[in-house]
Structure 1
């Protein structure tokens, strides 16, 4: 039944397909240019839909994408879809396995993972990732597995922790923000491993594509381009409706300089304070079982908010975020949290920012309600940070009495656990 639901979810998403898998095609074109000895960062051939799009990833990514260049677009997209689904499944599993409400039995966790998959597939960030044939789900899985797999220490990792985060940052720079988690955990070994792994990807890029690597790290890494998704969507990336970040919010509000830079700095500092407090609370044993998955998602939301460009399909981290909120709400029988999570999930299914005027500067004409709708991901992200900072404060004040029971525990189990703490 679950497989049937996922099949229909995938068919529905594929039928929508407004983007013709153009990002996957760009991966092909970039890799093919490298194989042919052509420049990666200029004058790539147009996609099958006639769009001339740049390759914006480090040279290491073009090297990794080489297998896609050896097959047709249909086969390449199929491969990306398959890997993306496996990545989403892997992320859900390690998050659910490490969550404070984790089911005691591994089989129960696997069943929950499979049950959540069809629901996750229809969320707008996941839909967009799949219809663009993007690698967001793969990057999320690399970070989640590296951060959460076998974290209890009962079984040793088959590789040094931090390796996958470094590789993810080598494919696309933004995963480097996840070094905040080992930093707060004072896990120097993981940080060093991630940095060495990342530098290894940079070195490999210079070794196999020297001219492209030099151009990327000296010029392309700081470049900012206009959006060009066809005649309907074209214009400044900072104000485009699909860009949902703090900087984009201020740009859409037409806040003039230098006030925009000042306001952005204040918002980033505020978001950083909320994130660090929430993460430290989640990592603290004083509030019960360490909640590493929540700390990781808080780290992710912070990165999405402060990035100059966070396309809505980058927000795939809301999948584990919603799962964690629902799991905690259900385990605690916290109905306000469950209702708020359900409403947030509905918004993430809809993708409300696509329902307002967009492209060619139309975002600058938004009224109050259009700003509220168009920037909803930003407000929900800030709300996620605020909630967990507040929750951490409450839990610390109560001395950790709000421990979350496992999903497969009975009310009697929870009562016995509370009695044991008080004895």
Structure 2
């Protein structure tokens, strides 16, 4: 069998194994979140209160009104077409992200592009956060793609950079951390564009739906009970860790101290990445920090770690790693990926007492902390593969920016 044939067999085998595993292993979420979107938006269109509608077990719409306005086409669709639309949009987001993040690696190292992208897609599908995002019918991967449109625009010197993060922040509050990234790294024009986009989207919807806007910003936004228990094992944020230490009275002061420590480390590392022209590490670090500092980071929100895994993998190339730092990152990356695939935290869904419970129930938080500390952020701590990766992407972006400038 020739090389192409072996690659086809490998991909088909991986896809089959993944399909069987996803079909038979427990954990399918029954499209629960897309059901919330569909029910709440339909109720709103029919004249009801957007934030009054709830599922039989009490869950309701938790996003800003702009998100509901973006989902209005759902009101015209029946249940199964809504699921299909969600899956198709998620698939498009994955295609964009893999093309943006993995394709440059394949081209730089002379790999078969279709084979590299197919393997990357299989690796992505094995991750617990990705499986949960798809089976919940969540919007997380769409938001990641929307923010990474800004990476694509920044690398090309586009004046539109910031629009993606602004729209994502108008849909959900967590991506607003990327506006913070633009500010911390001195990307003033892009930051102003992002803030302006968020404000404009919010104001337009506020003018059309003042009652829903008022309810969200004065009530729903501050009601953490709407999204579930902070101590629930799926909450893999710093506040989730603190809440599991004392579910009745979580120590908010401890949480704030941890958040401050994470923000200081993040700001230091993204500035270093920016000085080295390493935009991709800066974006990846910001996604990791967002998962840690957000009060609620459900397992499916951890798709924000995906770009960091790619950056970490790039820093270990060529394979096998030749220097000690790259080998350490390779071990951390493989271990982190294995933990994120494992669903380990769910073992402790019914209790996390003792040291083993504490470590296991917060396993994904430890992965996030490790990535924040060890992701390469500039030339000094990057492997040859990552340096070449960022230099290649930067060169392509600079060339295109010059072409665009000349065309103007």
- Structure-2 change in CA distance of 1:347 and 1:126 (3 Å): same
Cα distance in structure 1, aligned partners of 2:19 and 2:188? 41
One of 93, 106, 109 as aligned partner of 1:87: 93
Matched with 1:293 is 280
Deviation of residue 225 (structure 1)?
0.6
- Structure-2 change in CA distance of 1:371 and 1:200 (3 Å): same
Equivalences for residues 121-270 of structure 1 within 5 A: 121-146=125-150, 148-153=151-156, 157=158, 160-225=160-225, 237-254=229-246, 260-270=251-261
Cα distance in structure 2, aligned partners of 1:149 and 1:177? 18
1:167 is paired with a residue whose SS is helix
Matched with 1:273 is 264
Contact 1:93 1:110 survives alignment (8 Å): no
1:282 is the counterpart of 2:273? yes
Cα distance in structure 2, aligned partners of 1:67 and 1:272? 38
- Structure-2 change in CA distance of 1:79 and 1:403 (3 Å): closer
The Cα offsets for residues 61-98 of structure 1, whole Å up to 9 and x where unpaired, read as 11111112212211111111111121122122222357
Higher percent of residues as helix: 2
Matched with 2:37 is 27
Cα distance in structure 2, aligned partners of 1:206 and 1:9? 44
- Structure-2 change in CA distance of 1:7 and 1:357 (3 Å): closer
Cα distance in structure 1, aligned partners of 2:240 and 2:27? 26
2:371 is paired with a residue whose SS is helix
Q: TM-score, normalised by structure 2?
A: 0.83
Contact 2:153 2:161 survives alignment (8 Å): no
Matched with 1:417 is none
Deviation of residue 261 (structure 1)?
2.7
One of 14, 22, 39 as aligned partner of 1:13: 22
1:57 is paired with a residue whose SS is coil
Cα distance in structure 2, aligned partners of 1:30 and 1:106? 48
Matched with 1:76 is 82
Contact 1:182 1:190 survives alignment (8 Å): yes
Contact 1:227 1:240 survives alignment (8 Å): no
Matched with 2:364 is 377
Deviation of residue 343 (structure 1)?
1.4
The Cα offsets for residues 375-418 of structure 1, whole Å up to 9 and x where unpaired, read as 01111111112224xx559917xxx89674547x9xxxxxxxxx
The Cα offsets for residues 319-364 of structure 1, whole Å up to 9 and x where unpaired, read as 2222221221123543332222111111100121100143xxx44x
- Structure-2 change in CA distance of 1:406 and 1:3 (3 Å): farther
Matched with 2:327 is 335
- Structure-2 change in CA distance of 1:309 and 1:97 (3 Å): same
Cα distance in structure 1, aligned partners of 2:186 and 2:270? 13
Cα distance in structure 2, aligned partners of 1:161 and 1:78? 30
Cα distance in structure 2, aligned partners of 1:226 and 1:220? 7
Aligned length in residues: 375
Contact 2:146 2:165 survives alignment (8 Å): yes
Matched with 2:49 is 39
- Structure-2 change in CA distance of 1:144 and 1:111 (3 Å): farther
Q: Which runs of 5+ in 1 are unaligned?
A: 229-236, 410-423
Q: Which runs of 5+ in 2 are unaligned?
A: 1-7, 392-408
Q: Over aligned residue pairs, what C-alpha RMSD do you find?
A: 2.9
Q: TM-score, normalised by structure 1?
A: 0.80
Deviation of residue 224 (structure 1)?
1.1
Cα distance in structure 2, aligned partners of 1:74 and 1:210? 31
The Cα offsets for residues 168-207 of structure 1, whole Å up to 9 and x where unpaired, read as 1111111101112211331111111111111122112212
Contact 1:34 1:63 survives alignment (8 Å): no
Equivalences for residues 98-109 of structure 1 within 5 A: 103-104=107-108
Deviation of residue 35 (structure 1)?
1.4
Contact 1:34 1:209 survives alignment (8 Å): no
Contact 2:59 2:227 survives alignment (8 Å): no
Cα distance in structure 1, aligned partners of 2:50 and 2:66? 11
